Copies of this chain bind each other. A is one copy, B any other.
Amino acid sequence: MYRSHNCGELNISHKNEEVTLSGWVQKSRNKGFIVWIDLRDRYGITQLVFDEERTSLKILEQAQQLGREFVIQIHGTVIERAAKNPNMITGEIEILVSQLTILNKANIPPFTIEDETDGGEELRMKYRYLDIRRNPVKDNLIFRHKVTQEVRNYLTKEGFIEVETPYLIKSTPEGARDFVVPSRMNEGQFYALPQSPQTFKQLLMVGGLDKYFQIVKCFRDEDLRADRQPEFTQIDCEMSFIEQEDILDAFEGLTRHLLKKINGAEVEKFPRIQYDDAIRLYGNDKPDIRFGMQFGELNHVSQHKEFNVFNSAELVVGIAVPNGNSFSRKDIDKLIKWLKRPQIGAQGMVYVRCNEDGTFKSSVDKFYAHDDFSKWAEITGAKKGDLICVLSGISAKVRTQLSALRMEIAEHLGLRKPNEFAPLWVLDFPLLEWDEDAQRYHAMHHPFTSPKPGQLELLKTNPSSVKANAYDLVLNGNEIGGGSIRIHDKETQAIMFDYLGFTPEEAKAQFGFLMDAFQYGAPPHGGLAFGLDRLVAILGGQETIRDFIAFPKNNSGRDVMIDAPSSLDKEQLKELYLKLDL
């Protein structure tokens, strides 16, 4: 038996008990005649004491030799501490050690195993197993487990069945790039790893399973942007005999349950916004509504004056920064510089100070009068003491820029509070999005998403105006889930494939099984998938998903700890009927 207790549970009620503990040496204070050691395991820290009066000389000497992260087992007596630490569960006691066994030695770790470590990102990833010993990382993993357990228990209670769908499936050119897996038994052929279990969950609905979920790994071979992983986890859900309202209800219920159970946050019915309104009011489709600063469009009150920059702009749009008049000239210059960085790409910013006395002071005073600014203030909702920030240019670009500015300012003002939760449904996404490179439309969600009733005809005349039965769930400015009501009849699906540029042969080769399935009695169905990595990070009050993944990959898709991917020997390639073509 390696331990009678763990390192996080002993307290004054155990006084005088004989105990056995095992763990890692967190730190050691050696005063010569007395040695204290903090012994650490997953559950906490317990202080050990060795002294020349009460400990055998041999053990005292051994204790003096223990280095950081040595794995030891001790036997001893629980005694009351002289100097108590009220901040620790075990802070009232220490263990007077009578036996000491070194279970494993340790080299000096490459970074300190402390909540605040001196290790950089790269070093921590290479020695991820040491990084996991640190409380912030360990606690994140335990937190993730707690969230997934809550998800499973909630959905199970609601009648959902978790079904495992296959990982070795079929490659399809639609959507992102697949990871593929050569088949040895089927010469020259390849499986693909799923980007999502989309078609399988739809087939489960055709199979009558009614309510399905799965917490499942998905794979996308994309060039990795910051904080994207080639493998990621979804909470994948699907329901039959439902309308959009049923789906929103079901997963609003799940999200509310998590916010309450995990964060103790009570959230009322989630607000909803149309996609078009989200773009108009916040400049993006995943607005953070923990704070205001909605966009005010100023074309009609800023154009046809002397200021040519605005006159020539497609869109003039501003936000009112609460109490922003307190920004110094230097603060504002910094914001303008930030906006002009290539990542944002704004040409500049016009600002208007709303003084307490009702006057305005702006960077464009010579073009506009008090009445003009009054109108700007009214439209952006600016009050005395605020600062109006105005950008102009091509609509899509300027909205993205102002959206970034809004978030930057909110961050700066501390308005993005990690412990405040503001969920939001974004509804009625467009069915299609224009792909500049390919000069064609793509399905915005995926090709199985149904258009709004009666809008199928519009595909021919005004494709970009067609709305889909598609919705996203946004939390604190992050998309945490998205889904749609699916097409469930072969005819509509064929029209969609045709519209997306599939020949009937291609559609049959790639999705024939689904089209076939639709002919054998497919029920109306729809669903939603949550991005678990992101969801967990946000519930944990953080935004970096990597901190909630046990063994993440870096931006080149490498696991720097195990050094993968790596080369194969020729024999292995030959068995797979492959040659390198470098």
- CA distance in complex: A578, B578 (Å): 7
Tell me the minimal C-beta distance from A561 to chain B in angstroms: 5
In the complex, identify which listed stretch (A342-350, A360-368, A389-397, A551-559) lies at the interface while the others stay far away: A551-559
Q: Which residues of B contact A444 (CB under 8 A)?
A: none
Q: Which residues of B contact A242 (CB under 8 A)?
A: 2
Q: Which residues of B contact A577 (CB under 8 A)?
A: 580-582
Knowing A128-B207, A568-B171 touch, does A582 contact B522 (C-beta < 8 A)?
A: no
**Is A436 interfacial (CB-CB < 8 Å)?**
no
Of residues 537 through 561 on chain A, the ones whose CB sits less than 8 Å from some CB of chain B are: 549-551, 553, 556-559, 561
Knowing A169-B559, A521-B71 touch, does A203 contact B128 (C-beta < 8 A)?
A: yes
**Is A32 interfacial (CB-CB < 8 Å)?**
no
- CA distance in complex: A191, B566 (Å): 7
Q: Which residues of B contact A582 (CB under 8 A)?
A: 187-188, 577
Is A520 a contact partner of B188 (Cβ separation < 8 A)? no
Q: Which residues of B contact A563 (CB under 8 A)?
A: 170, 512-513
In the complex, identify which listed stretch (A115-123, A129-137, A292-300) lies at the interface while the others stay far away: A129-137
Q: Which residues of B contact A190 (CB under 8 A)?
A: 565-568
Is B565 a contact partner of A130 (Cβ separation < 8 A)? no
In the complex, identify which listed stretch (A87-95, A140-148, A401-409, A410-418) lies at the interface while the others stay far away: A140-148
- CA distance in complex: A203, B550 (Å): 10
Q: Which residues of B contact A70 (CB under 8 A)?
A: 521
Is A104 a contact partner of B210 (Cβ separation < 8 A)? no
Q: Which residues of B contact A254 (CB under 8 A)?
A: none
Is B243 a contact partner of A566 (Cβ separation < 8 A)? no
**Is A574 interfacial (CB-CB < 8 Å)?**
yes
In the complex, identify which listed stretch (A55-63, A178-186, A276-284, A308-316) lies at the interface while the others stay far away: A178-186
**Is A103 interfacial (CB-CB < 8 Å)?**
yes
- CA distance in complex: A556, B183 (Å): 10
Q: Which residues of B contact A109 (CB under 8 A)?
A: 520
In the complex, identify which listed stretch (A78-86, A159-167, A325-333, A376-384) lies at the interface while the others stay far away: A159-167
Q: Which residues of B contact A204 (CB under 8 A)?
A: 129, 132, 550
A: number of interface residues (CB 8 Å): 128
- CA distance in complex: A168, B130 (Å): 21
Of residues 199 through 244 on chain A, the ones whose CB sits less than 8 Å from some CB of chain B are: 199-200, 203-204, 206-211, 217, 219, 221, 223-224, 230-231, 233, 241-243
Q: Which residues of B contact A165 (CB under 8 A)?
A: 550-551
**Is A523 interfacial (CB-CB < 8 Å)?**
yes
**Is A177 interfacial (CB-CB < 8 Å)?**
yes
Closest to A217 in B: B167
**Is A75 interfacial (CB-CB < 8 Å)?**
no
**Is A419 interfacial (CB-CB < 8 Å)?**
no
Q: CB-CB contacts of A14-47 with B at 8 A, as 1s and 0s?
A: 0000000010100000000000000011110000
Closest to A556 in B: B185
Tell me the minimal C-beta distance from A497 to chain B in angstroms: 16
Is B209 a contact partner of A549 (Cβ separation < 8 A)? no
- CA distance in complex: A385, B263 (Å): 70
**Is A138 interfacial (CB-CB < 8 Å)?**
yes
Tell me the minimal C-beta distance from A352 to chain B in angstroms: 47
Q: List 18 A-B contacts (CB under 8 A).
A: A2-B524, A24-B523, A43-B210, A71-B522, A103-B524, A127-B516, A131-B207, A132-B204, A133-B207, A167-B219, A168-B219, A168-B230, A170-B566, A179-B191, A188-B582, A578-B580, A578-B581, A579-B579
Tell me the minimal C-beta distance from A514 to chain B in angstroms: 9
Q: Which residues of B contact A167 (CB under 8 A)?
A: 167, 193, 217, 219, 231
Q: Which residues of B contact A107 (CB under 8 A)?
A: 519-520
Interface centre among A43, A165, A169, A520 (most CB of B within 10 A): A520
Is A186 a contact partner of B517 (Cβ separation < 8 A)? no
Is A185 a contact partner of B549 (Cβ separation < 8 A)? no
**Is A335 interfacial (CB-CB < 8 Å)?**
no
Is B170 a contact partner of A564 (Cβ separation < 8 A)? yes
